[in-house]
Structure 1
Amino acid sequence: MIGDPQTPSQTKWHFGIDWPGKRCGAKTRQGTACLKPALSGRKRCQLHGGRAGAPTGMRNGNYKHGRNTKEAITTRRAAIARIRALVALGKAAGLY
């Protein structure tokens, strides 16, 4: 019924404007901030991806070859940096 006071069980889970805990922080479709509490150790509530997250590497079901893993990318970048340093050294010595 409209106008009835809330029971204690309803107010226990009601997170109003003045609730002091950590909020979700996501923007809703209306443009306002989400008022749900963030999950512990996360920045978002369960509706906005707080429980999301897939395992990394071969434990992920979408893992195919490992060419684009964080480890492979850092190894490639280090190799390219070494090659560029050698080319610069060769240009400075007059080999190119």
Structure 2
Amino acid sequence: MSIFIWLFRAFLFFALFAFALNNSEEVVVRWFFGREWHSPLVIVVLIAFGMGCALGVLAMVPAWWHHRRIAAHRTAQTQPEEGDSKAPLTPPPVIHDGL
């Protein structure tokens, strides 16, 4: 199975490398106030992809923090305190909030 994963990675690398070689023409990115940036097309596409990934991760961070807070709160509720023999030994049922 490992050989198939490495073959897929090699195929993906060479496909992206061929894409980069085929898109080496220079393009102009026009910013505000007459500013221009000249760069190969593949660099512009790579930067746009990276910025999109970063924006997606940043958009998910508040939800991650929210779920970590809920998990920590539920874990704290299920931990028996020292000397407390009436503390529940099983965790409470999971409540799905639609996510």
- Please report the TM-score for the alignment, with normalisation by the length of structure 1: 0.31
Higher helix content, 1 or 2: 2
Higher strand content, 1 or 2: 2
